[in-house]
Structure 1
Amino acid sequence: MNNKKTVQKQGAALKPFLTLLRETKPSYSLLTTAIALSVISTLVGLVIPMFTKTLVDGFSLASISKLQIAGIIGAFIAQTIAGGVSIYLLNYVGQKMVAGLRDRLWRKFLVLPVSYYNDNRTGESVSRMTNDTGIIKTLISEHLASLFTGVISIVGSIAVLLYLNWKMTLVLFAVLPLSALILVPLGRQMYKISKGMQDETASFTATLSGVLSEIRLVKASGAEKREYEAGRNGIMNLLTFGIREGKVSAMISPLVSFVFMMLLVVIIGYGGMQVSSGALTAGELVAFILYLIQIIMPLTQLTTFFTQIQKAKGASERIIETLAAEEENYEGEAEATAAHGPITVEDVSFGYKDGEKVLSNVSFTMLPGQVTAIVGPSGGGKTTLFSMLERFYEPESGVIRLGDRPVTDFSLKSWRSLIGYVSQESPLLAGTIADNLSYGLEREVSLEEMRRAASMAYADGFIGELPDGYETDVGERGVKLSGGQRQRIAIARALLRDPEILMLDEATSSLDSQSEAVVQKALTNLMKGRTTIVIAHRLATVVHADQLIFMEKGRITGKGTHEELLNHHALYREFATQQLQMNEPAAYDGSKEEVLSKNDQNSGSGRRSAYPRIGGSVSES
């Protein structure tokens, strides 16, 4: 009963792995051809001991014809070619399957929601793509054929041995089950070890990725020793698993050798007695030993195969878990082509964890072409609100509307195409300035368009001074550029997107005063004619916004202009008293040249047409 449950459990564990392989849609014709060639090579090998038997039992060289010699040579050549082609085809199929699997994983990673990456480290995802898929590839390309050829070799050899001498064959059956009793538990142990090693490898990869991507922070903080210890712990954990795996392998190989030697001694001893009594010829004994080798060697290969399949089961479990993760819903009833009408946030509530609200019944409206500023103490939910507007997360309750329609009615791609986002960090990808400016745009962007956008973002000057201009490599995460330069490239990128809705996460808070002044002018160009929402850490940058929204602990506690909040909101008045006396530079000073008139503000489309976009001339500030 217990054995039946074990078989059922093993079968259930193997089922997801086989399902995963089927879903990669391998070339069954090539796979079948490769396995068939391996089988042919094995069958040819089964004939050789019988030829040896005849030769030992008195077959003379003089009686061998040229045709027989040619046949034997041809058989060896055919065996060699069939084996070589089989190995190549299996490698080809294995590589194609793992490429298909990696393609599925890569597509999956790109459509998973932001919440997935909040809970899973980047290095673990990288490990799924590289280490785990590599294990599956190794199983298919290097060990799959051994399953079929091994079974055929064992069954064929046993059938011939029963024909030659059934008594001696029964001696084999007395010893082989003993080896199985030893090797099966070791295979289970190998599965547990390999699964633990895959998890530890993923964790170690995540640690490396995190540290190396922030190496400047590590060095600036003097944390090299701390990170070395963290990395060393991962290395030692991998060493522990590796040693445990080595111990199991060290037991498997000698045990197989022991079984082989024991069988060899028994067969030679018992067979020698049979030869001396005349019950067995010397040729039959030689053939028996050769067939014994053709049983033991495939048994070793099958042991390796089942060890590898235990590893592949562990790898496939993690891959299947990733592929089963819930994706973002990119579909929608309509395409968002323009941000006509107000954007309304209506009673929106959200929490990252159950029972912990980050936003509670947040409601406000942004009119077309107007500037809305979100202010308040840190931890109030401002960044989370931005994430909701970009649909990185869906509200637990409430709705966000564009005009009269919920934004969830629009396809995700079309909605996000309306939004331009400039953050404090201004992330850049490794590549050239031109690559980063045109990033995400499906259309071709000409150099003239880039220059026009860069000019409006006050970036054209410093780009022109670089040795390679727009083809200058920015380095990983843009480290070869200054903070102000990165910000201006991010603004130029947003200008090229020509967004209807602009989201600014206090894009100047980390800059020096000179860089800030330039970036503020660039932001003024960017904001013209667009519905803008700004996260403001400094009130001086937003005092002339059309409306200010004050957020505390996920709730809106005040709405209105700067003057209205100053008169009626105590905490805002305290913020203003502390900050505005510091004479910080303002994002725009309220002059008629930089702040649009109320008439323009109230006519969204009219305001947009009053200012040139990328297709027009460069505005001057």
Structure 2
Amino acid sequence: MDQKQNGLKPFFSLILSTKIPKFAIIVGLIASVITTIVGLAIPLLTRELVDGFSLASLSLSFIFLIAAVFILQAVIDGVSTYLLAAAGQQIVAQLREKMWTKLIRLPISYFDKQQSGESVSRVVNDTGIVKDLISQHFPQFISGLISIIGAVTILLIMDWKMTLIMLLAVPFTLIIMIPLGKTMAKVSRGLQDETATFSGNIQQTLGEIRLMKSSNAEQFEENKGFGGIKKLLGFGLKEAKIFALIGPFMYLVVMVVIVMIIAYGGIRVSNGTMSTGSLVAFLLYLFQIVFPITSFAMFFTQLQKAKGATERIINILDIPLENGQDGKQMDISNEPLQVRNLSFSYSDDDSPVIKDISFDANPGEMIAFAGPSGGGKTTMFGLLERYYEPTGGEITIGGTSIHALSLASWRSQIGYVSQESAMMAGTIRANLCYGLEHADDIPDDQLWAVCKMAYADQFIESFPNRLDTEVGERGVKLSGGQRQRIAIARAFLRDPKILMMDEATASLDSQSEGIVQQALSRLMEGRTTFVIAHRLSTIVDADQIIFIENGEVTGIGTHRELISNHDLYREFAEQQLT
């Protein structure tokens, strides 16, 4: 998207795509206008007070009138501020909902290329910039504009000569402020990008804190973090320099104008062509013009920030969703799965990772993928799970392409048990029920039943809080074997038709491996099972072993068949099984 060509159009299109709280914005803006108009009346009341000042002229009604004007202005201003802030909060909440809904439905390929912390920064920081513009700077700009127009109009009526003297400062101000505003916009956009990058690096480091500590990488990460902080500091100092120019310059302009007005006005008062009250009112109106002009610089700076933030938000919202959001529902029980001429590469520029693979998997069979590391086994799992779209060929279930099914229907019938046994921070109960509809309605008896089937019930019962035990981030409070058994219990609870296992016992000690292997054997009964094998001992009884090298199938058969007719498989078997 070319932001320079589109200007503010994308920003307004993005805002209009939300359900704008029109009532709050209209009432808030009207209240802001009323506040401004009431404020314009104050200098006129002050003029009457100064010109006619005497103890005798100070009537109680006049004092009450001035007090009422101030109180009315404060109350209406408070209502306006709240309503516009609430409208901004509601709009940004909707934007965050849209972005979050989009992010969690984007294809895995997006997250392969994008740091998660950077995406988080877009959802939190960029939408916050849009919120500040809507709820704070835009209302200030509108009320300031009304204040300036009203004040200048009144001043021209009061004394056009003195008004023209004051307006001489406007072109000089614009000559300085416009270039500073453009520079500020560039700095602000750079600061947004660097903030997103820094957030991504911080989140990655903290997410892999154990790897960092076990690698003695504290110094490396410290230096890397300091580098990001220094870049942020650099942008912050550039912003500070611009503000350091804007503030004193505006102060200088204001002081020069005030001195000129007081000098010229003093002469007018002394020769009787202007009253003292009029001079005081003139100065008060001058302040009502100066302060909004000063805030305009902040408004246009924030507008540039919002344009940059809008561009990044729209870029995320424009990314296509995973295919299959609206596919059909289908029960895949007892259906054969066929893979025909399957090919895949991660991008158009990359060489294929999977090349022309074909095989059949009949209901209830165990299909194992074996071969050297980097051969394409994990990628094959990614294609079966529909994390990626094949670049050639197709996968069918019961004669229907799996890509014709909805993702929800397909994935709800697949159980996946990996080496890592991914877990979310929370309780054992929450992890068992994660992603299931009506999770809160699943009875404890059912949860304990699947835990027993996965041989997880004994260690869970040993915890004081049992199913409500907190597992910590990524399940760090549990051992590897315990995490695996909970992952298997989770699979039992879903009753999957197809089971996928990425060598689920590879990282366990012998005692845990024995227990987990029993649980897996129980889980595999009657289900079509795909296994990635790092150790051939776990797949010697597989119905089919598919040997993959460099993305190509070089052998298919049982363990006994491959021993006799596949040299590399035989070599693997001799190394591991003898």
Smaller-chain TM-score bracket: over 0.9
1:533 aligned onto 2:530: yes
**Partner Cα separation in structure 2 for residue 227 and residue 480 of structure 1:** 25
Q: Which residue of 2 aligns with 1:334?
A: 328
CA contact (8 A) 2:334 2:364 kept: no
* Count of residue pairs the alignment pairs up: 574
**What one-letter code is carried by the residue in structure 2 that aligns with 1:393?**
Y
Amino acid across the alignment from 1:538: R
Local SS of the residue matching 1:348: strand
What is the distance in 2 between the residues matched to 1:216 and 1:350? 34
**1:132 counterpart = 2:129:** no
Letter of the structure 2 residue corresponding to residue 294 of structure 1: Q
Q: Secondary structure at the match of 1:344?
A: strand
Q: 1:172, CA displacement in angstroms? A: 2.1
Residue 516 (structure 2) aligned to one of 510, 516, 519: 519
Contact 2:336 2:363 in 1 (8 A): yes
The one-letter amino acid of 1:404's match is: G
- CA shift, 1:26, in A, is 1.8
Please state if 1:401 is matched with 2:380.
no
SS at match of 2:541: coil
One-letter amino acid matched to 2:409: S
Tell me the amino acid that sits aligned with residue 478 of structure 1. G
Q: Select 2:368's aligned residue among 373, 377, 388.
A: 373
2:73 maps to 79
State how far apart, in whole Å, the 2-side matches of 1:71 and 1:54 are: 12
CA contact (8 A) 1:339 1:402 kept: no
1:276 maps onto 2:270 in alignment: yes
Q: Residues 16-27 of structure 1 correspond to what in structure 2 (within 5 A)?
A: 16-27=10-21
**What is the rounded CA distance, in whole Å, between the counterparts of 1:248 and 1:326 in structure 2?**
40
What letter matches 2:504 in structure 1? A
Are 1:250 and 2:230 matched, yes or no?
Answer: no
Q: How does 1:287-366 map to 2 (within 5 A)?
A: 287-354=281-348, 355-366=350-361
Does 1:13 pair with 2:32? no
Contact 2:324 2:404 in 1 (8 A): no
How far 1:556 sits from its partner (Å)? 0.5
Q: SS where residue 7 of structure 2 aligns?
A: helix
Contact 2:432–2:489 under 8 Å retained in 1: yes
CA distance in 2, matches of 1:73, 1:276: 31
Tell me what 1:235 maps to.
229
- 1:192 is aligned to 2:189: no
Following the alignment from structure 1 to structure 2, what is the Cα–Cα distance between the partners of residues 431 and 332? 31
Determine the structure 1 residue equivalent to 2:574.
577
- Map 1:332-481 onto structure 2 (within 5 A): 332-354=326-348, 355-443=350-438, 444-481=441-478
Map 1:589-600 onto structure 2 (within 5 A).
none
In structure 2, C-alpha distance between the alignment counterparts of 1:173 and 1:27, rounded to whole Å: 38
Equivalent residue, structure 2, for 1:551: 548
Q: For the residues of structure 2 that align with 1:58 and 1:451, how far apart are their CA atoms?
A: 88
1:161 counterpart = 2:149: no
SS of 2:513 mapped into structure 1: helix
Report if the CA contact (8 A) 2:453-2:519 is conserved: yes
Secondary structure at the aligned position of 1:267 is classed as helix
For the pair 1:55 / 2:49, whether they are aligned, the reply is: yes
Could you say what secondary structure the match of 1:502 adopts? strand
Preserved CA contact (<8 Å) 2:129 2:305: yes
Tell whether the 8 Å contact from 2:418 to 2:504 is kept in structure 1 after alignment.
Answer: yes
Which of 351-360 and 280-289 deviates more? 280-289
Is 1:205 the counterpart of 2:202 in the alignment? no
User: Aligned-pair distance for 1:59?
Assistant: 4.8
Q: In structure 1, what is the Cα distance between the partners aligned to 2:514 and 2:302? A: 62
Distance 1:572 1:11 in 2: 60
1:91-144, CA deviations, whole angstroms, 9 ceiling, x for partnerless residues? 211111111111111111111111110011010011112211222222222222
CA distance in 1, matches of 2:196, 2:322: 24
Shift of 1:456: 1.2
**1:568-621 deviations in Å (ceiling 9; x for gaps):** 11111111111111xxxxxxxxxxxxxxxxxxxxxxxxxxxxxxxxxxxxxxxx
* Preserved CA contact (<8 Å) 1:336 1:418: no
> TM-score when scaled to structure 1?
0.90
Shift of 1:67: 3.9
Match of residue 484 from structure 2:
487
* Counterparts in 2 of 1:332 and 1:65: CA distance versus 1, 3 Å: closer
CA distance in 1, matches of 2:356, 2:406: 25
The letter for the 1-side match of 2:106 is: L
Take 1:11 and 1:223, find their aligned partners in 2: how far apart are those partners? Answer: 45
SS in 1 for 2:8: helix
CA distance in 1, matches of 2:90, 2:327: 37
CA distance in 2, matches of 1:478, 1:255: 57
RMSD: 1.6
1:263 aligns with 2:260: no
Kindly state the Cα deviation for residue 65 of structure 1 after the two structures are TM-superposed: 4.7
Q: 1:62 is paired with a residue of what secondary structure?
A: coil
- Give deviations 1:247-289, integer Å, cap 9, x for gaps: 1111111111111011111111222222233332222222211
Query: C-alpha separation between the residues in 1 aligned to 2:186 and 2:450?
Result: 57
Evaluate the alpha carbon distance shift between residue 83 and residue 61 of structure 1 in structure 2; reply closer, same or farther with a 3 A threshold: farther
User: Aligned partners of 1:380 and 1:501: how far apart in 2?
Assistant: 23
**After superposition, what is the alpha-carbon deviation per residue over 1:488-541, rounded to whole angstroms, capped at 9, x for unaligned?**
110110010100000000001111111111111010001000000100011111
Note the residue ranges of structure 2 that are not aligned, 5 or more in a row: none
Q: What is the rounded CA distance, in whole Å, between the counterparts of 1:97 and 1:334 in structure 2? A: 34
Report the TM-score when normalising by structure 2: 0.97
